[in-house]
Amino acid sequence: MQRLKSTITKAAAAVGVATIVLAAGTVAQGQDFPSESIRVVVAYSPGGPNDLVARAYADEMSKTLGVPVLVENHAGAAGNIGASLVAKAKPDGYMLLAGASGLTVSPAIKKNLNYDVTTDLVPIGLMARAGYLMAANPKVPVNSVADLIALAKKEPGKLKFGTSGVGTTPHLAWEYFMNEAGIKMIHVPYKGLGEAITDLLSGEIDVMFVSVPVAVPHIKSGALKGLAVSTGERSKLAPDIPTIGESSPLNGFQFASWWGLFAPKGTPDAVVNTLHDALVKAGSTDALQESLAEKGAEIVNDTPAELKALIVSDMAKFQRIVDAAGLEKN
């Protein structure tokens, strides 16, 4: 019996030591982080808004963290391949996701997602957000959003809008707009924005939501008409173009994309805090602010809790939009 008690005591002591070592290791991880390169996954192709924002932040964050912050593109499945990759990664802060607002669209529009954005990804902080510019082909006889709504009501189902695909954020922006305006238009989905803009310029489609920096040169040249921006305030890149709320009966209408940084579930709080501090410091630099302003984006560095709340709110909003539009999951 004495020998049994001794064995149990030794086992308990070993467990206690192991627990202390494990806890110390977790603390050390937070204190020593980072000690090697950090990989940031962009779940879309190079050159797009998500990629540009991620690379701008990565350059500045590497200066604060003292290690290279490297961006990798893992495109496919509307951003879900890259998101799933990070969701299943080791939770040590060395693989992160530069995610977009499309993360909150996928649960409403995609079947069989193998990750949950609300539980499998830890928000680090918001990086930036940007609205869209509603652009029309010059042949379309409208000069404002109010004109567009009136024409769509007069000729329901005739006007065509283009997007980069079914269930994308621009598509849902149009569904939201049509539902609020009480109109119906024809959706023409494309495989990419380049092809869609080409058809907008040629008049094959009538209107599109386009990123402000892409639309402005075409508007200045007269190749497109700028009807309105989708945000609550006018864009600094196009100050003469009103908001949708200003130029139509849809007072208070707002729709914008956002980009945030995420870590896998289980990443230590100390690591998340270190990354968030570096994110905020990067967002406060003149170089980053000027770089993103040129791209039509506004720097926003919300806390992890605020980004979490935004995700929950947006998921509910997009589910309402999808339900109202009668879109089926694919």
Our CA dihedral for 237, 242, 244, 249, rounded to 10 degrees, sits at 170
What is the structure's pLDDT at 47?
A: 83
Other beta carbons within 10 angstroms of residue 328's beta carbon come to 10
pLDDT band for position 112 (cuts 50, 70, 90): confident
What is the structure's pLDDT at 17?
A: 42
Structural domains in the chain, sorted by start: 30-130+258-325 (3.40.190.150), 131-229 (3.40.190.10)
What is the amino acid identity at position 207? V
Residue 54 in 3-state DSSP? helix
What is the structure's pLDDT at 282?
A: 96
Q: Find tokens 């010059």 and name the residue.
A: 138
Q: What is the pTM of this model?
A: 0.82
What is the structure's pLDDT at 276?
A: 97
DSSP β-ladder status, 160-163 and 298-299: unpaired
272-295 confidence digits (pLDDT tens): 999 999 999 999 999 999 999 888
pLDDT band for position 30 (cuts 50, 70, 90): low
| pLDDT of residue 16 exceeding 90 | no
Beta strands in the chain (DSSP E): 38-42, 69-73, 95-100, 121-136, 160-163, 186-189, 207-211, 225-229, 256-264, 298-299
What is the structure's pLDDT at 18?
A: 44
Residue 295 in 3-state DSSP? coil
d(CA 82, CA 75): 6
What is the amino acid identity at position 318? F
Better-scored residue on pLDDT, 95 or 6? 95
What is the structure's pLDDT at 31?
A: 67
Q: Are 212 and 296 in contact (CB under 8 A)?
A: yes
224-275 confidence digits (pLDDT tens): 999 999 999 999 899 999 999 999 999 989 999 999 999 999 999 999 999 9
What is the structure's pLDDT at 48?
A: 82
DSSP β-ladder status, 225-229 and 256-264: unpaired
Q: For the chain, give the mean pLDDT.
A: 89
* Helix boundaries (H) for 260-303: 269-283, 286-294
189-201 confidence digits (pLDDT tens): 998 778 999 999 9
What is the structure's pLDDT at 65?
A: 97
